[in-house]
Chain A
Amino acid sequence: MSKLTFERPIIQRINAGLPSKYGMPRRLDPISHIDGTSIKSLLDEFGSPLFVISEQTIRKTYKEAHRAFSSRYPNVQFSWSYKTNYLNAVCNVFHQEGAWAEVVSGFEYQKAIENGVPGELIIFNGPDKSTDDLRLAIENNSLIHIDHFDELYELIHLSKEMGERPKVAIRVNMDTGFYPLWDRFGFNFENGEAWDALNRVMASKTLDLLGLHTHIGTYILSTDGYRIAAEKLASLAVKLEKKYGHVLKYIDLGGGFASKNTLRGAYYPGTDTAPSFDDFAEAITSALMSSEIKPDHLPMLILETGRAMIDEAGFLAGSVLATKRLADGRRATIIDVGVNILFTSFWYDHDIRPVEAVSDQSEDTTIYGPLCMNIDVIRGNIMFPLLKKGDHFVIRRVGAYNMTQWMQFITLRPNVIMLDSKGKPHLIRKKESLETINSLENTPEHLKNFEL
């Protein structure tokens, strides 16, 4: 007779009369496969931890977003937000689907060029554009979104010096009912600064004003802010046409759509609260369509949503390093994924699941990363199955920001693979080694030797 599987022995207090506000305890069902490929086999082949990106999910999400907007508005263009995930393979999936590139630094700009994005289809946002960056963007006919007056005047200067006509848009910040107000980027709508900037651009006669841009915030759970933003930008477009007879080519509503992750401390899960692409599309397009803009002058609608496009496609698989008991008797599980590679665990209660069906029981658990740092907490408390050392887990919805904001800190950054549409794995970023890190360092001659 074969022996039974051993489960870690546990005893839990029953708190009768104190029902959980979340109802019955939720069982965390294991996730053993991504796109039909076994997570265990991927960990065996590529090591633990491991980022896994589903190409299929990216394409599906893109198509869903595109359909939501293009079925409501005649001229829609998506632009891939590089900072959200600028692994070249990821960017190229979006480019293959038809997205332009949206970049916020010289480094990202170069990345987009190297990926083969034509210069005129790169939107250059953000407060950090060096003179050299601007020169290159002007030469390439890229769309420069002006963030502040210093940049505006530099562009006027460069246009004269280079004898070129830079293609520009003005970034506008505004009150859409959200706090905090992102007034650090662009020119304010309410105090008239945005209108001043537009007048200045028109007066220069050397800048080619193509559009208006705003980006109202991040992880926005209400669609109403986008309606207000679209109305305000439309009113500026109408004013421009009235005063100068100038018709804008595009209005760029930026991004910030919430993904289905759950914010820390949120009462309901993100899967229930995040609006759909259709909800966002309805708010934005109906505001533009019902604005005073003449129907045959309706500008192209550009969207730069990053988070909602890629979060769902990213998974982070790993292994349990140890379990221990805390001073108050609660369980602690230590995993090989820390906040240095899962930056978003500072904001989200990530959905973390066992890979193998190890146990029907769960325990009140704190999940810690491997770093010898007190801040390294992946989940503060979660009813989690009884995983043992060596068992595997997978964290869902990690596609946005983690593979750009990750840090080489204490541990090294792991392999990233992409599963193609058939579920076949491709290594798209190699894990770092001691050599990767040391190759950037230089030890002065007099510090090379020591005796202990």
Chain B
Amino acid sequence: MLKIKSTIAISDSGFVFDAGTGDSFSLNNTGLEIVRLIKEGKDFPEIIQKVSEKYEVDEESFERYYYDFVATLNQLNLIEKDGED
């Protein structure tokens, strides 16, 4: 299960602050939505369901963008390493 690092604060507007490193980031709307769902502990099937209810996107495209996005979160050290499956 993916877990966003506990040191991370996310504002409603998509501003991300990592209290551990002092780094800050900005998310776009879909990015914010996904990060929130991950934070709530939702897994991929739940996330895709939520997102496709709200946005015009097919499952295949979403899956592609989702994994690409998660890889970026990983690269930016925003994911708890020991939180991975």
A residues engaging B (CB < 8 A)? Answer: 2-14, 16, 324-325, 329, 359, 361, 386, 388
In the complex, chain A residues whose CB is within 8 Å of the CB of B30: 6-9
Give B4-53 interface residues, CB cut-off 8 Å to A. Answer: 16, 23-31, 33-35, 51, 53
B28-80, CB < 8 A from A: 28-31, 33-35, 51, 53-57, 61-62, 65-66, 68-69, 71-73, 75-76, 78
**Which of A2, A13, A329, A361 is B28 in contact with, Cβ under 8 Å?**
A361
B54 touches A9 (CB 8 A): no
Given known A-B contacts A10-B28, A14-B26, A325 and B71 have beta carbons under 8 A apart = yes
Number of interface residues of B (CB under 8 A): 31
Find out whether the CB atom of B62 lies under 8 angstroms from the CB atom of A12. no
Asked if B57 and A11 make an inter-chain contact with CB atoms under 8 angstroms apart, the answer reads: no
Chain A residues, Cβ within 8 Å of B78: 11
Cα A359 to Cα B28 with chains together (Å)? 10
Bound CA span A329–B25, Å: 14
CB within 8 A of A9: which of B23, B31, B53, B56? B31
- Are B27 and A10 in touch, CB under 8 angstroms? yes
CB distance from B9 to the nearest CB of A (A): 14
User: Are A11 and B16 in contact (CB-based, < 8 A)?
Assistant: yes
Closest residue of A by beta carbon distance from B65: A8
- Which chain A positions have C-beta within 8 A of B23? 13
Q: In the complex, what's the smallest C-beta–C-beta distance from A246 to chain B, in angstroms?
A: 72
Complex alpha-carbon distance, A325 and B16, angstroms: 21
Which residues of chain B have C-beta atoms less than 8 A from A3's C-beta?
53-56
Q: How many contacts A-B (CB < 8 Å)?
A: 69
**CB within 8 Å for A7 and B56 given contacts A13-B23, A325-B71, A329-B75:** no
What is the bound-complex CA distance between A324 and B67, given in angstroms?
A: 11
Q: A2: shortest Cβ distance to chain B, in Å?
A: 8
B residues in contact (CB < 8 Å) with A: 16, 23-31, 33-35, 51, 53-57, 61-62, 65-66, 68-69, 71-73, 75-76, 78
Asked if A11 meets B68 with Cβ closer than 8 Å, knowing A3-B56, A4-B56, A6-B62, the reply is no
Distance of B12 from chain A, by nearest CB (Å): 16
Chain A residues in 8 Å Cβ range of B25: 11-14
A12 contact set on B, CB distance < 8 A: 25-26
A2–B76 Cα distance when bound, in Å, is: 34
CA distance A2 to B33 in the complex (A): 18
Name the residue of chain A whose CB is nearest to the CB of B53: A3
Q: Would you give the shortest CB distance from A359 to chain B, in whole angstroms? A: 8
The smallest C-beta distance from A248 to any residue of chain B, in angstroms, reads 65
B57 and chain A: residue at smallest CB distance: A6
Beyond A8-B69, A9-B31, A11-B26, list 4 extra A-B contacts (CB 8 Å): A3-B53, A6-B55, A11-B25, A14-B26
- Chain A positions within 8 Å of B24 at CB level: 13-14, 16
Q: With A and B bound together, what is the CA distance between A3 and B16 in angstroms?
A: 26
Neighbouring B residues of A386 by C-beta, 8 Å: 28
Q: Which residues of A contact B27 (CB under 8 A)?
A: 9-11
Q: 19 A-B residue contacts at CB 8 Å?
A: A2-B56, A3-B53, A4-B55, A5-B55, A6-B30, A6-B51, A6-B56, A6-B57, A8-B69, A9-B33, A10-B72, A11-B16, A11-B31, A11-B35, A11-B73, A325-B68, A329-B75, A359-B28, A386-B28
Instruction: Name the A residues within 8 Å of B16 (CB-CB).
Output: 11
List the 10 closest A-B pairs by CB distance, nearest first: A6-B57, A9-B31, A6-B55, A9-B30, A9-B69, A3-B56, A14-B24, A329-B75, A361-B28, A4-B55
Residues of B within 8 A of A5 (CB): 55-56
Q: CB-CB < 8 A to A14: which residues of B?
A: 24-26
Q: How far is the CB of A41 from chain B (nearest CB, A)?
A: 22
Contact A329 B76 (CB under 8 A): yes
- In the complex, which residues of chain A have a beta carbon less than 8 angstroms from the beta carbon of B26? 11-12, 14
Q: How far is the CA of A9 from the CA of B28 in the complex (A)?
A: 6
Chain B residue with Cβ nearest A14 = B24
- Cβ contacts under 8 Å, B33 to chain A: 9
